[in-house]
Chain A
Amino acid sequence: MKFGVLRFPGSCDEVDAQLAAGRVGEAVLLWHRDRDLQGCDAIIVPGGFSYGDYLRAGAIARFSPMMEEVIAFARDGGLVLGICNGFQVLCEAGLLPGALLQNTNRRFTSRQVRLEVVNSETPFTLACAPGELLSVPAKHGSGRYYAPDDQIDAMEAAGQVVVRYAPGDCFNGSARDIAGVCNQAGNVFGLMPHPEHAVDPLTGSTDGLRIFESMAMAAEGVRG
């Protein structure tokens, strides 16, 4: 299992994602200006402030050469995980539905949250039990998930709402407490909280590992 973690100018959590993914497989950094996916089985678009989050979070990064390759990879069914800023990039790139707006509290907020696994059958949540609560940190200023109501209805029906904030834990005002969504095909997943910061008992919880383990299981399945 080989993960590729994108690196844009202004990325912050790319090494953290590399370390986390490295616990379940091989993980390499991919520079935004290159075009070689280096044979990776899954791509992670990491957290941080690509291009300073200037203009709109994720707006500039999504045009990078490497993102063009990632878009093609995703269209071919490749696994793509977007975390925080990566989620914003994937929405901007049109790989995921919706948009992420400024938190209703108007502040960057960093807090441990509980995530409820709504759909445990995606390639990113295979290793979770339905309804399981994962303790994972969230830290962002623009994490309010928005999509038109009818679209969210359809997404919920189709199992595209993958994780929600547990009651009381949603500080950003997201529609229906949505924390992470996948595309229709299920191979692209974005979430605001940071599973890569929940992989070691020393620095927090280990619940986030489940996301990376799920991806490895899914990738092995595809291969096998």
Chain B
Amino acid sequence: MADAGLPTVEEAMALGLTRGEYELVCEKLDRPPNQVELAMFSLLWSEHCAYKHSKKLLMTLPTEGEFVVMGPGENAGAVDVGDGLVCAFKVESHNHPSAVEPFQGAATGVGGILRDIFAIGARPIAVLDSLRFGDPGTSERSRFLLDGAVSGIGHYGNSIGVPTVGGEVYFEEPYEQNCLVNAMALGLGEREKLVRSAAAGIGNILVLYGASTGRDGIGGASVLASAELGELSEDKRPTVQVGDPFEESKLLECSLELLEAGLIVALQDLGAAGLTSSASEMASKGEVGIDIDVAKVPLREADMEPFEIMVSESQERMLCVVEPGKLDTVIALTDKWEVHGTAIGTVTDTGQMRIFRGEELVGEMPVVALVDDCPLYDLDPAPPAAPIYPPPTATLDPAADLRQALLALIASPNIASRRPLFEQYDSIVQSRTVRRPEESDAAVLQLPGGRGLAVSIDGNGRKVAADPYRGTIGVVLECASNLACAGAQPLGTTNNLNFGNPEKPHIAWQLTEAVRGLGEACRALEAPIVGGNVSLYNEGASGPIYPTPVIGMVGRLPDVTRAGRLGFAREGDAIALVGRFSPALPASELARLRGEALPDGLPDVDIAAVRATQEAVRDAVREGALSSAHDIAEGGLLVAIAESCLAGDVGATLDLGACEDAWSALFGEAPGGFVVSGDPSAIARLAEHTDVDVIGAVGGDRLHVRAGDGEANATLAELREAHRALARLFP
């Protein structure tokens, strides 16, 4: 191999490696790396691929359970849903690409998570999104990012025929300079037909199929995912990756047909770090070597260097391992779907990744060194000495009464109807969607045999910022509460940890505490983590984002015809507050509107008690005993009730009786509270299993509430008008 012009340590550092890491690479190779090798090491040893600051924490999470079929480590996790079927699911972030170009960033985020799903042999059946931006009222940039991200998600999901069935979006100042765009996907597959990504069979052939390879996102994984965005100079900006959902729809059908026909040994999508990471990880999992000839890779631009081909992040590509005798059949099938496959390499027994350009060997590295030898770092967590986040900007008149506060909350961008967003998504294609957005707290999809799946995605950065440990527990509980309202029992959990720079002690502390809360809550709910993603270094010039663990949970319903609804349905039904609910205002949505600083810590949560309430609500929904069930989240009890009124197009009259502090009672937030409605006898039966307080009745065309000597009154029309507040963001 030519060793002239070897890259310097400075170049290695510009690619994101530390001096120590570069020296370790030299030691592993027994010589300094050349350009191809350095490019590959810098990607595989990046935070994004190696999880070097989070792996030790992630190892503390519960990953096993009754329903887990595939845990973290594969392209997606999978849980058993009965009858030989599994549900594969995972959430991923595309934060930095979306901050650069929101439409393509969000679109390729959806494309990437969908490939993860069909890479394990499951057909994608749903997408959800989780979005965070700055204040849309004052920030034009936030409106631009929101508009672009939503159109990008819709563009990709709609065009490929996978319904976007749910999601969440929040607007808070700390996301102004660093928006979050997370996408989750679910797939359905046969348990026996799942495929893993481990390369196997010495002499077998690697086939690359899908889009041709261009200079998309070169340097992306190392630069984009591992440097703070503000540090990125113009010339380091990678080329923007453009998504092509049409190509991906062919890729998807072709991949599933290859698997169905039993033609392939292993399958892997090309995501961040392109061919480098997919090939190396396939080799590592199979404990084999791989030879790749970059001259065989179909290129979009003729003059690409071997290292560029190896690190390109061109979208819509897949890599599979094929027995030589089946190669022709595989190529023919890829031709049928117009995603023309090419044999680009072979599985070897060398334990080496060897990169050739034709006959010329241009790179040779031990697979183990590339994939497993990246140093893992211990965090140095310490709680912040002073508050990290300035108080939010106050928008609510301090003299506002209960009614004005209710209307302001309903119109808050964090609570107002998401209809203007989700109307841009096809939520019904594939004919499985039993509960569309705004019909239930969780989306519900039907499965063969009359059963159902429920899915929800949740996060609450403000509460996690106030208390990373309890805040994260609250998020996991909210996700499970959403499932309970639909009548579903959790099967498994996925998560995306969106945090700032973990090399800073207070961020390390947020991350450590949040993961502790996540593990504890998932353990207590028996909803193990089957996969996820970590996105660090989310900081802008004015500081870090709120620490934002985003939790996605999948549950199942034995009888999908009884899926719960959140809207009040019948005049005369009793309305009850369910659960041992201790609402508090600090860190609530009302506190945000009032411009109050975040508290230092949140009240303790009794996870077991919340779980018991969730089970009681779930069982009542499953029996068909309730007309509606809705969990109490942002905005507290009165907002939850207003949402049930709006969803059912009917009013309610409530009396909370004697009440020390009407504000806390009506607008305070805490995990574990539900608003249900139904026949008084059904509510009485529910009271045998959990705390139940009948507080009013469904009926009329207004919401009227009395709490102690406080009172609020609004017509449905007024509530509806306030609830439409987001529409003006999408003129």
Contact = CB atoms under 8 A, between A and B. Distances in A.
B633 to A, nearest CB: 25
B434 A202 contact: yes
Nearest to A17: B431
A13 interface: yes
Contacts of A19: 431
B154 interface: yes
A107 B246 contact: no
A107 B426 contact: no
Contacts of A51: 246
A12 B246 contact: no
Interface string A1-43: 0000000011111011001000000000000000000000000
Contacts of B159: 10, 12, 49, 52-53
B244 interface: yes
A87 B175 CA distance: 43
A200 B434 CA distance: 10
B430 A16 contact: yes
A139 B432 contact: no
A16 B158 contact: no
A141 B249 CA distance: 19
Interface stretch (A90-98, A108-116, A162-170, A181-189): A108-116
A107 B424 contact: yes
A143 interface: no
A10 B151 contact: no
A202 B561 contact: yes
* B interface, over-half SS: mixed
Q: Which of A9, A15, A53, A194 has most B Cβ within 10 Å?
A: A9
Contact of A110 (B151, B155, B250, B424): B424
Contacts of A16: 429-431
A9 B245 contact: no
Interface string B383-425: 0000000000000000000000000000000000000001111
B246 A49 contact: yes
A197 interface: yes
A76 B176 CA distance: 61
A58 interface: no
A52 B244 CA distance: 8
Contacts of B422: 110
Contacts of B628: none
A109 B428 contact: no
Given A108-B154, A197-B428, A202 B446 contact: yes
A137 B561 CA distance: 20
A194 B428 CA distance: 10
Contact of B245 (A47, A52, A203, A204): A52
A51 B431 CA distance: 22
Nearest to B420: A107
Given A52-B246, A202-B561, A137 B428 contact: yes
A111 B437 CA distance: 11
A54 B246 CA distance: 9
A180 interface: no
A82 interface: no
Contacts of B426: 12, 108, 110, 139
Contacts of A86: none
A204 B246 contact: no
A48 interface: yes
Interface in B567-594: none
A186 B424 CA distance: 33
A108 B161 contact: no
B568 to A, nearest CB: 20
Contacts of A137: 428
Interface in A161-220: 194, 196-197, 200, 202-204
A200 B560 CA distance: 13
A201 to B, nearest CB: 9
A38 to B, nearest CB: 19
A203 B430 CA distance: 11
A49 B245 contact: yes
Contact of B427 (A10, A15, A110): A110
A18 to B, nearest CB: 10
B423 A111 contact: yes
B456 interface: no
Contacts of B245: 49, 52
B433 interface: yes
Q: Which of A47, A49, A137 has most B Cβ within 10 Å?
A: A49
A175 to B, nearest CB: 23
A9 B158 contact: no
Nearest to B419: A111
Interface in A110-150: 110-111, 137, 139, 141
B144 interface: no
Interface in B138-171: 151, 154-155, 158-161
Contacts of B67: none
A203 B432 contact: yes
Nearest to B155: A108
A29 to B, nearest CB: 12
A197 B161 CA distance: 13
Interface in B248-271: 249-250, 253
Contacts of B247: 52
A109 B560 contact: no
B429 A12 contact: yes
Contacts of A197: 428-429, 431
A108 B422 CA distance: 10
A44 to B, nearest CB: 15
Nearest to B432: A203
Nearest to B164: A110
Contact of B431 (A9, A11, A203): A203
B446 A12 contact: no
A87 B711 CA distance: 54
A13 B246 contact: no
A136 to B, nearest CB: 11
Given A9-B337, A10-B159, A48-B161, A203 B249 contact: no
Given A110-B423, A139-B428, A203 B151 contact: no
Contacts of B561: 202
Contacts of A196: 431
Contacts of B433: 203
A194 B433 CA distance: 15
A109 B427 CA distance: 11
A202 B433 CA distance: 8
A110 B338 contact: no
Q: Which of B155, B158, B250, B561 has most A Cβ within 10 Å?
A: B158
A48 B662 CA distance: 51
A12 B250 contact: no
Nearest to A112: B436
Contact of B446 (A15, A48, A203): A203
Nearest to B337: A9
Contacts of A204: 428
Interface in B627-684: none
Contacts of A107: 151, 423-424, 730
A142 B568 CA distance: 36
Nearest to B161: A12
Contacts of B161: 11-13, 48-49
A122 to B, nearest CB: 25
Given A49-B159, A202-B446, A109 B432 contact: no
B706 to A, nearest CB: 36
Contact of B424 (A12, A52, A108, A200): A108
Contacts of A13: 161, 429
Given A9-B246, A197-B429, 5 more contacts: A107-B151, A110-B426, A141-B158, A194-B428, A196-B431
24 contacts: A9-B338, A10-B159, A11-B161, A12-B161, A12-B249, A12-B426, A15-B430, A16-B429, A16-B430, A16-B431, A47-B429, A48-B161, A52-B247, A53-B246, A54-B246, A107-B424, A108-B155, A108-B425, A111-B423, A139-B426, A194-B428, A197-B429, A202-B560, A203-B434
**9 closest cross-chain pairs (CB), A and B:** A52-B246, A12-B161, A49-B159, A16-B431, A139-B426, A10-B246, A9-B250, A197-B428, A110-B426
